[in-house]
Amino acid sequence: MFNDTCDRPLLHKPGATQAHGLLLGIVLPDWRISQVSANTQTRLGIDPETLLGQSLNTLLSESDITAIADDLSKRPGQIHSLSLTWLTPLGEQTFNTIFHPLEDTYLILELEPDSAEKTFSLPQFYQTYKYVLHQLQQAVTLSELCQIIVQQIQQITGFDRVMIYQFDETGAGSVIAENKRDDLDPYLGLHYPDSDIPQEAKALFARNPLRLIPDVDYQPVPLMALADDPQSPLDLSLSVLRSVSPDHIEYLQNMGVKATQTISLLKDGKLWGLISCHHQSPYFIPYEQRSLCEFLGQVMSLEIASKEANEDLDYQKFLKSVQTQLVKKLGQAESLTQALFQSRQELLPLVGADGCAIYTEGTIFLVGQTPTESEVQDLIEWLEERFENHLFVTHALPHLYPVAIAFKNVASGLLALSLTQVQKNYVLWFRPEQIQQVNWAGASQNPSQAEADGTIRYFPRKSFELWQETVRLQSLPWKPWEIEGAKELRSAIIGIVLQKLNELAEINIELERSNNELDAFAYIASHDLKEPLRGIHNYANFLLEDYMNLLDEEGVDKLHTLIKLTKRMEDLINALLHFSRLGRQELNLQILDLNQSLQTIVDVFKASKGGEMMEIRVPRPLPLVLGDRVLLEEVLTNLINNALKYNKNSNKWVEIGFLETSVQPPTHPTQGTNSTLTLYVKDNGIGIQERHLDTIFRIFKRLHAQSKYGGGTGVGLTIVKKIIERHHGSIWVESTYGDGSTFYFTLPQGETDS
Ligand code: ADP
């Protein structure tokens, strides 16, 4: 957009000036005219050759020269301006005389026409300054500040277009504020490559805060110097008339601009941006107005840091409030997945992203503008090895991961967070490619000219294309506090997970304590109950023995029932006692050959059941298991006993076997592992109705009247379950009512495959 170029050497020593004024180089201390612009004849009525070598007092009164000297000594090194009367062959002429020293022995004087009608009186100046300053103080953010500046400068100067152009860290820039004539195309938001303003030009902008080109089509005026001029070629860095590089002139012509004024904006001494003014026709701004613009530029320069900080602060505050909401939601959610899913709306603003993918335990949720699920899946695989401190940040993903070219429109920028160390839980944020479509219809230019010399820098449209090229496959960079937002999310999640773990640990301790208490209670209660029960039982017996003759038949019957009931109660208490012991008893773990145990159990059964018809099937030898022999034999005994007991078949059979691959209980599918074995005890008995499949494991739960199927306490299966669970296994039953049941249970294998 500026291209005050340029790559040619000596940009600050062009050997020529613009045509709207004239320049004199004066050697001090004898005030000898040593160098002049070649237009003195038209401006002063003396040809340059005549002027060279003369003393300045041929053109200026002694008092004016003293005034210049005074100014120089009062504010050394500065640019000064005085409205002076020059004594020329054309008569007395008033010029706005702008001067600055070059070292201590040389002075550059530049004469600009002094506008006949003073644009500002002092009070007017003051009023304007005061008003603008007040406005600037009202601005809170940088964008407000910029908007006020462009408005005020357009009002003061009357330029067709006033813009603020800000450089980014790469040196490229964009238009961030604009005030313009309504009929002109907007440039707001346009970007330009670093090469548009070469380093040398930037350095000049940093030194000389205001640059005016009143007529882009001017004829450069060469400088002429005495042979012994000590400053040839003259350094015009601080000159107001410095001739403009032809490249820049061409660039401006291609934009249809006839006059420009540029004011530098500095932050911490470095060029931060420019206030750029354009006019569609030649346009001269008197020095006083320029000074006011320069002053506003300086005020703005002072304000940039604090306004930027305000803007950052606002953004940071916003991020903080999003974080707070997120943490609140996370705290209330039951699982990480649920928490993240519920907070999906907050996740995007948290880091200023357009899309987000949440990956927890193999499930992907997509929010906003994202690649497809399978693209995200592949990206995660690529990412897994690339996290550093749980973070991966890039604003040029396709450069690192070429597959991403396919979805550059949504994910040229990636900010990824790995939430947990062991499990794969990730949050990925996406930003689209930065390139934007711009309508250049208003800028008249012929692009083919641009290619003639192989360069493209003179053409704004080409320049924009060049910028597009440099930022292709890139998103806007992630700001430090956006990355911080992601990190804090991780800390918050970890904090919550830890808190949940803590709560769980506390619940576990509590559970263990109450379990122990329950066991102890069951033990004490059953133990202590036995004594009075025994007393009741004994007394009932005494009554029967000693007072039978005094009782009628009904009384004797009742005593018999009482004795039977005490017996049953004793059985129940013993079962409870046994059960309570199981909870406290240490397991005596060993590698067990269940085939041996089974043999003993079967022998006992056969002996106790006498000639009853029953078949005990073991289709193949059982594998080794890891467990407590006594307890596991109790399991088998109980299950086999039930299989034969709840069986009305004339050919009763029970089958004991194991499954080839471990199967887990339907309600707790995660409990099994590779080293788990699933055994079963199957019968052709009466079966169990579906609604009882779970309840039969409850203590004292029987499905039949006391007298049926040989009676029982309803504790057997509860004990079986407790033993299996103490071996970290599970037990469940499948049954077809009337046809038989299969009890499955899992146990740790006695040896692994290896
Ligand atoms: P008990 O046998 O002392 O009643 P259990 O806890 O061993 O107590 O069994 C609880 C109930 O489950 C039994 O009363 C019976 O109704 C039912 N049951 C247990 N095993 C079987 C089986 N193999 N077939 C059918 N019903 C069974």
Q: For residue 704, how far is its CA from the centre of ligand 1 (angstroms)?
A: 9
Cα distance between residue 32 and residue 38, in whole Å? 17
Cα distance between residue 504 and residue 495, in whole Å? 14
Name the pLDDT band for 238 (thresholds 50, 70, 90): very high
What's the pLDDT tens digit per position in 527-554?
788 888 889 999 999 998 998 888 899 9
Residue nearest to atom 11 of ligand 1 (CA): 702
What is the mean predicted confidence (pLDDT) over 194-198? Answer: 76
- Residue 735: CB within 6 Å of ligand 1? no
Name the pLDDT band for 642 (thresholds 50, 70, 90): very high
Cα distance between residue 479 and residue 70, in whole Å? 51
- Residue 628: CB within 6 Å of ligand 1? no
274 with 165: CB under 8 angstroms?
yes
559 with 540: CB under 8 angstroms?
yes
- Residue 643: CB within 6 Å of ligand 1? yes
Q: For residue 545, how far is its CA from the centre of ligand 1 (angstroms)?
A: 37
- Residue 646: CB within 6 Å of ligand 1? yes
Range with lowest mean pLDDT among 6-15, 425-434, 566-575, 690-699: 6-15
Average per-residue pLDDT for the chain? 85
Cα distance between residue 696 and residue 715, in whole Å? 9
- Residue 740: CB within 6 Å of ligand 1? no
Q: Residue 466's pLDDT is what?
A: 59
pLDDT over threshold 60, residue 441? no
Q: Residue 307's pLDDT is what?
A: 83
pLDDT over threshold 70, residue 321? yes
Residues with Cβ within 8 Å of 267's Cβ and at least 6 positions away in sequence, in order, are 301, 304, 305, 308
Residue nearest to atom 12 of ligand 1 (CA): 696
User: Count of alpha carbons within 13 Å of 276, Cβ hemisphere only?
Assistant: 24
Cα distance between residue 514 and residue 161, in whole Å? 80
Q: Residue 451's pLDDT is what?
A: 41
Q: For residue 687, how far is its CA from the centre of ligand 1 (angstroms)?
A: 10
Cα distance between residue 128 and residue 152, in whole Å? 9
Q: For residue 657, how far is its CA from the centre of ligand 1 (angstroms)?
A: 20
pLDDT over threshold 50, residue 404? yes
The whole model's pTM is what?
0.57
